[in-house]
Structure 1
Amino acid sequence: MSLSQVEAPPTVRRNIPLTPGAGLYSARVAWRHSLRFRLALVYTLAALAAITLITLGMSVYLLGQIGAQFDRRLNDRAEAVAERLTNPGPTLGKKLPPIQGYIAVIDTDGNLTSISNALQSNTVGSKLNIGEPFPYLREKRFNVLGTPMRAATRPAGDYGTVWVALPENDLVSARNSTLSALGLAWLITPALMLLLGWWLGKRALADLSRAAELADRIDPSKSLAMLPLPDREDEVHRLLAAINRLNVRIEAGQQREKQLLGQIVHELGAPLTVLKASLERAGERTGDVEVQRAALVADELTFTTQDLMQLARGHLEMKLVWHYIPARTLQGRLDRLVPGTTFTGDWNTGLLCDPDRLTQALRNLLANARRAAGPDGTVTICLEETPDVVKFVVRDSGPGLPAELGERIFEPFVSGAGSSGLGLSVSRQIAALHGGQLTGGNHPQGGAQFILTLPGAALADDEGSGDLDPQEPPLKS
C-alpha cells in the first residue's frame, strides 16, 4: 500500500478491477474495443478500398479494350463489304466467305437499295422496303428483337453507303461477368480480410497480450515485477520497456512514501505514549470523566499509529489477544469514546474477541457515523446474537455513502466524508482477523449502514484458541 492510493475521481477509477485479472477478462469480452479488432478492421477496409479501386480500374480498361476490339471488327467488316462493292474485280469467279451481321446498302438519298436476308427476315426487317428511307442509317446503337446492336457505315462509291451492324451479346456478357465478379469480391473480400487481419493481429500482438496478462497480476502493494521484453525491438518492445521504467519509478516513490510515513509515525509514537500515561494517571487521581475520555482517545491514537507503522512496512499485521468479555463492557467503552450513540439490541450477552481491537473497529464505524450525521443527527448501534454469529449494525441519519465508491470505501485512504480513509480499512481487517466480515451500504430509509459480524463464542471455542483468557481484562480508564 502507499499514499498514492488516495481517492481518485470516479471517471478515472471506474474501470479499474478490484481483483487481479478481472480487467483482462472484461477486455476479452469487449472485442469491439480491442486493438486487435481495430487493426483487423482498418486492414480490411484498406484492403477492400484498394481491391475496389484496382478492380474498377482493370474493369474499365478491359471493357474499353473489348469495346475497341469490337469496333475494329465492325469497321473491318464494313470496309470488306464496301471493298466488294466498289472493287469486284479481284473477287470475280471466287466463292467469298460470308460476312456475319446485318448488311444494308443505302443510296445517296438515304433510300434502301439492298438488304441482307438476316435483316430482311426479322420482324423489324420485314417492315423495311426497297426504295424507302432507311431508319437506322444515323443510329450507332439500337435493338433488334431485344438484341443490342452496334452499326458502322462506309462509303461504297456509286452504290452509296454500306451499313453493317453486329450484335453486342459477347460484349454485354463480358461486361456482366466483370460486374458479377466485382460484386462477388465485395461480398467475400471483407470476410476474408477480416479473418486474415484478426489472425495477423493476434500474431503481431502476442507479446503485448502476454505482457498485459502479466501486468494484470501485478499487486502494487507487494512488488512491481518487471515485464519480460520480446526479442524483437519493435514498438511493443519499446512500450513494455517504458512500462518497466514506470514500475521502477512507482516502486521508488512508494518506498519514499513508506519511509516518510514511518518517520511521521515514529515521531508521533513517543509523545503519544507519554500523553497516554499522563492522562491515565491524572484520571486515576482526579476521577474526572473528561480526563478519562481523553485517555481513551490517546489509547485509540496509539492503536492508529501502530496500524500506520504496519502500513508503512507494506501491509497491516495485527495480533489478537482473545478474551471473553461481557458486551456491556464494550458498550461502556464505545459510549465514552463516541458520546451520543444510541445502543439497541441485547447487550447482556458475552463476546469472545480481542476487546481492544474490536473497540477500535466499532469506534471507527461510530466515529464515521457521527461525522456523517452531524451534531444533531442520530447514530445507532444494534447488537444481535444468534447461535452462530454476533452482529453489530451501525446506522446513521446522514446523507449515505457515495454510490460511485462502492467497495472502494474499504480501501486505505479512500473516504466519502473527508476523513483519512484508514478507519474502514482497519475495521474490515479486524473483522476478518476475528473470522468475521464487515459490509456497508445505504439503508433503504436513508443514511449509511455498516454490519460487522463475528463468529459466536461457542463456534470460536470449538475451533480452539491458544490465547483465550476466561477473565475479563481490566478496563483502561
Structure 2
Amino acid sequence: MLPPSRPALTPARSAGLMPGAGLSSARVAWRHSLRFRLAATYSLLALALIMFISLGVVTLLLSRMDQQFNDRLNERADTLAERYTVTGKDLGKSAGGIAAYTMLISEDDMVFAASTALNDYLNAPFPFQKRNSVVIQATPVRAVEREIGPLGTLWVGLPETDLIAARQSAASALLVALVFTPLILLLVGWWVGQRALSGLQRAANLADQIDPTRSLDTLPLPAREDEVHRLLSAINRLMVRIEAGQAREKQLLGQIVHELGAPLTVLKASLRRAEERTDDPEVRRAALVADELTFTTQDLMQLARGELELKLAWHYIPARTLQERLDRLVPGTVYAGDWTGGILCDPDRLTQALRNLLANARRAAGAQGSVTLTLQENTDTLTFTVRDSGPGLPPDLGERIFEPFISGAGSSGLGLSVARQIAGMHGGTLSGGNCPQGGAEFVLSIPGAALGDED
C-alpha cells in the first residue's frame, strides 16, 4: 500500500542545468588567469617598447645638448684666440666673460694672465695639462686649448653645471617612468582584458552549469562577431553534435534492449517451468544466468532512458521480503544485522541496486569466497553494507568505479553506476572502498521510513 506522505516522485533537477551548480561562481586564480597573462604580456611589451624609445630619445637629447655645449665652448675659444692673434688689443687684459674661465699660458707652462675667478693660478705653473674636464672651486668645468702664436696657449673653460643637471633630470625622469609605467600598464591592461573577455567569462559560467547528461543548451553569442563569438559558435556546434550523438546512442541502445527483452522473457519462463518439473541443478544454474541477463538489460534500458525519465513506485515492505528476493537472485549471500523492520522504497529498484552490488561481490570473491550483506537501521537512515573476501577495488580507479562502463572485475561496468543512481533517486548515497581486513566494501544508505503510528 502506498503511504499518503510519500507519493511517487521524480528527481527534481532542472533540465539542462546542474542544480545550484557552484561551478558558475568559481573564479580563476589571478596567476592562472588569461586576463592577467594578457595584461602582463601587454605591460612587458609596452614597457620594453617605451624603455627603448625613451632611452633613444634621452640619449639623442643629451647628445644634442652635449654637442651644443661643445660648439659653444669651441666658438668662444675660437673668438678669443682670434682676438689675441689678429689684433692683440686684448693683450695684458684678463680674458673673461660671463660664466667663462680663461688663462694664457706661456711657452714654459706658466700662467701669466687669467680671468678673475682664476687669479689664484697667476704666475704659477699651469695645473691642467692635457685635461679636458677639471673641477674649479667645486664647479665641474670643460675646457679646450688654442695656440695663439708667440703668446703661447689660450685655455678656455665653461662650467658644466647646467649640462650635468639636465642629465640628472633626464635620468630621474626615465627611472620614475620605468618604475610607475609597468604598474599603470598592468592596471590598464587588466581593465581592458576584463572588458574584452567579459563575454567569454559569462559563457564559461554558463558552460559550467550545463549537465551533459541532459539537453545541452547552447551558449548565448555576443553581439560583436569577434574571436569570442567564433569560439562560442564552435562550442555550440560541438554541443549540437554531441547531443545528436547521444540521442543516436540511446536510440540504438533502446532498440538492442528491446530486441533482447522478449527472448529473455520467454527463456526465463521456459527455464522456470523446467526447474519446477525436473529440479535439475544445471537448469537452476541456467535460470540464474537468465536472471543475470535480465538485470543487465534492465541496466542498459535505464541507461538508455536517462535518469529524468525514471520514476519510483514507493512501497513500504518488510525487510525480510527484500532479503528473500535477493537470496533468490544471488545465492550464497550471508545476511547480518536487523532484518525485522520495514523499508520505504521502490522494491524493484532497490532490489536491482543491491543485486548489482551482491553480484559484483560474488564475482570478485569467487565460488569459495564469502559475501555478506548487513542491514543497520537508526532513527533517520537505513544502511546496507556489502562486503566480500575478494582482492578489493583497484586503487587507480577511485570514484571512477561508479562511472558507466568502468569495471575492475571484467563485468559490463553498469552495475555500480546504476546502483548509485538508484540510491540517489531514493535520496541516499552509495560509496565504496576497501576493508582493512581485505576485500571490497560498498555502503548504500537511504532515508528511513520515519512513519508514525497512524502511517
Match of 2:203 among 211, 216, 223: 211
Q: Which residue of 2 aligns with 1:112?
A: 111
Q: Which residue of 2 aligns with 1:98?
A: 97
Instruction: Please give the per-residue CA displacement for 1:211-245, whole angstroms capped at 9, x wherever unaligned.
Output: 22222222222212222222322222222222122
Q: Which residue of 1 aligns with 2:9?
A: none
Instruction: Please give the per-residue CA displacement for 1:430-461, whole angstroms capped at 9, x wherever unaligned.
Output: 2234343322233344443211123334x156
Q: Which residue of 1 aligns with 2:315?
A: 322
Q: Which residue of 2 aligns with 1:68?
A: 67
Q: Which residue of 1 aligns with 2:233?
A: 241
Q: Which residue of 1 aligns with 2:150?
A: 158
Cα contact 1:342–1:379 (8 A) shared by 2 = yes
Q: Which residue of 2 aligns with 1:260?
A: 252
Q: Relative to structure 1, is the Cα distance of residues 335 and 19 closer, same or farther in structure 2, using a 3 angstrom cutoff? A: same
Q: Relative to structure 1, is the Cα distance of residues 441 and 143 closer, same or farther in structure 2, using a 3 angstrom cutoff? A: farther
Match of 1:422 among 392, 414, 423: 414
Q: Which moved more, 1:305-314 or 1:270-279?
A: 305-314
Cα contact 1:77–1:99 (8 A) shared by 2 = no
Superposition pairs of residues 183-194 of structure 1, within 5 angstroms:
183-194=175-186
Q: How far apart in 2 are the matches of 1:362 and 1:463? A: 30
- In structure 1, stretches of 5+ residues that fail to align are 1-17, 122-127, 465-477
- Structure 1 residue 54: deviation in Å? 0.4
Q: Relative to structure 1, is the Cα distance of residues 350 and 382 closer, same or farther in structure 2, using a 3 angstrom cutoff? A: same
Match of 2:188 among 179, 182, 196: 196
Letter in 2 for 1:102: Y
Cα contact 1:325–1:355 (8 A) shared by 2 = no
- Structure 1 residue 318: deviation in Å? 4.0
Q: Which residue of 2 aligns with 1:15?
A: none
Q: Relative to structure 1, is the Cα distance of residues 40 and 168 closer, same or farther in structure 2, using a 3 angstrom cutoff? A: same
**Is the partner of 1:452 in helix, strand or coil?**
strand
Letter in 2 for 1:272: L
Q: Which residue of 1 aligns with 2:173?
A: 181
Query: With structure 1 as the length reference, what TM-score do the two structures score?
Result: 0.81
Cα contact 1:74–1:152 (8 A) shared by 2 = yes
Instruction: Please give the per-residue CA displacement for 1:143-183, whole angstroms capped at 9, x wherever unaligned.
Output: 33543321111222332111112222211111111111111
Match of 1:448 among 437, 440, 443: 440
Q: How far apart in 2 are the matches of 1:96 and 1:169? A: 21
**Is the partner of 1:29 in helix, strand or coil?**
coil
Instruction: Please give the per-residue CA displacement for 1:96-149, whole angstroms capped at 9, x wherever unaligned.
Output: 98342322111234332223331334xxxxxx46253x2313101233354332
Match of 1:370 among 337, 341, 362: 362
Q: Which moved more, 1:193-202 or 1:433-442?
A: 433-442
Q: Relative to structure 1, is the Cα distance of residues 51 and 302 closer, same or farther in structure 2, using a 3 angstrom cutoff? A: same
Q: Which residue of 1 aligns with 2:221?
A: 229
Cα contact 1:297–1:337 (8 A) shared by 2 = no
**Is the partner of 2:407 in helix, strand or coil?**
coil
Q: How far apart in 2 are the matches of 1:341 and 1:360? A: 15
Q: Relative to structure 1, is the Cα distance of residues 48 and 397 closer, same or farther in structure 2, using a 3 angstrom cutoff? A: farther
**Is the partner of 1:222 in helix, strand or coil?**
coil
- Work out whether 1:345 is the aligned partner of 2:337: yes
Q: Which moved more, 1:431-440 or 1:179-188?
A: 431-440
Q: How far apart in 1 are the matches of 2:58 and 2:389? A: 78
Letter in 2 for 1:216: D
Letter in 1 for 2:119: Q
Q: How far apart in 2 are the matches of 1:149 and 1:382? A: 102
Q: Which residue of 2 aligns with 1:130?
A: 123
Q: Relative to structure 1, is the Cα distance of residues 373 and 190 closer, same or farther in structure 2, using a 3 angstrom cutoff? A: farther
Q: Which moved more, 1:238-247 or 1:443-452?
A: 443-452
Q: Relative to structure 1, is the Cα distance of residues 350 and 23 closer, same or farther in structure 2, using a 3 angstrom cutoff? A: closer
Instruction: Please give the per-residue CA displacement for 1:290-320, whole angstroms capped at 9, x wherever unaligned.
Output: 5445435534533442342243233351433
- In structure 2, stretches of 5+ residues that fail to align are 1-17
Q: How far apart in 1 are the matches of 2:452 and 2:247? A: 41
Q: Which residue of 2 aligns with 1:287?
A: 279
Q: Which residue of 2 aligns with 1:82?
A: 81
- Structure 1 residue 78: deviation in Å? 1.8
Letter in 1 for 2:164: V
Cα RMSD over matched residues? 3.1
State percent identity of aligned pairs: 62
Q: How far apart in 2 are the matches of 1:87 and 1:218? A: 98
Q: Relative to structure 1, is the Cα distance of residues 239 and 433 closer, same or farther in structure 2, using a 3 angstrom cutoff? A: closer
Q: How far apart in 1 are the matches of 2:241 and 2:127? A: 91
Match of 2:267 among 275, 289, 292: 275
Letter in 2 for 1:325: P
**Is the partner of 1:392 in helix, strand or coil?**
strand
Q: How far apart in 2 are the matches of 1:380 and 1:415? A: 21
Aligned length: 437
Letter in 1 for 2:374: C
- Structure 1 residue 278: deviation in Å? 1.0
**Is the partner of 2:212 in helix, strand or coil?**
coil
Q: Relative to structure 1, is the Cα distance of residues 313 and 392 closer, same or farther in structure 2, using a 3 angstrom cutoff? A: closer
Letter in 1 for 2:39: A
Q: Relative to structure 1, is the Cα distance of residues 432 and 209 closer, same or farther in structure 2, using a 3 angstrom cutoff? A: closer
Q: How far apart in 1 are the matches of 2:51 and 2:316? A: 82
Q: Relative to structure 1, is the Cα distance of residues 357 and 232 closer, same or farther in structure 2, using a 3 angstrom cutoff? A: closer
Cα contact 1:395–1:450 (8 A) shared by 2 = yes
Query: With structure 2 as the length reference, what TM-score do the two structures score?
Result: 0.85
Cα contact 1:21–1:213 (8 A) shared by 2 = no
Q: How far apart in 2 are the matches of 1:188 and 1:369? A: 68
Q: Which residue of 2 aligns with 1:361?
A: 353
Q: Which moved more, 1:226-235 or 1:181-190?
A: 226-235
**Is the partner of 2:109 in helix, strand or coil?**
coil
- Structure 1 residue 393: deviation in Å? 1.1
